[in-house]
Chain A
């Protein structure tokens, strides 16, 4: 079975500082990994995904994520946080070589960027 863990319920960071939102995964086979962001009363917005290739994936709004196979992690990062980045962030995984597998989401991490 595939699963995702987001160990932090909330991450606090000051505007202008770098941010990291952590995600670890467990799958049988190679993973497809995704990050989504959810603003209040809105649906999930796609940020970026890792399929294959470079371990550093760049996405929307200046976000990037680093795939680390040995640590089974896919942490979301941004060099300089904005107050407008405050939202709920979800990591999700889908297995590669087991036929179609549903997208499994973590429980989410709330990012709070203070001015």
Chain B
């Protein structure tokens, strides 16, 4: 079974430029998460999708960050414009609600390492 796929793996941009990250979850997983991981820290949730609906985006800085999951499968996270402080690893995860609701395990992709110069 293929895992969570993310691209690109690495991205270097200059500040004020836009950037987008793509995630394809594990097949059949209808819950998708985007996390931000700063250096030396644990991941922090940015947004959670149930199918195509964003059900928890309280941690997403909406002035510059946006996300979409139009068909309830793959998802894109965008930053426009990027700032120096956005340099971090952006992780995508997915889970299946049929595995037990709140007990479901989240499976993570390899992440996209963003460097803003």
Interface of A with B (CB < 8 Å)? 4, 32, 34, 36, 41-46, 49, 51, 90, 92, 94, 96, 100-103, 105-108
Contact = CB atoms under 8 A, between A and B. Distances in A.
* Size range of the chain B interface in the assembly: 20 to 34
Contacts of A42: 110-111
Nearest to B101: A100
Contacts of A44: 43, 91, 93, 108
Contacts of B102: 32, 94, 96, 100-101
A103 B43 CA distance: 9
Contacts of B4: 43
A102 B111 contact: no
A34 B48 CA distance: 18
A32 B110 contact: no
A108 B40 contact: yes
Best-buried of B9, B43, B55, B110 by chain A (most CB within 10 Å): B43
A4 B41 CA distance: 12
A105 B41 CA distance: 9
A41 B108 CA distance: 12
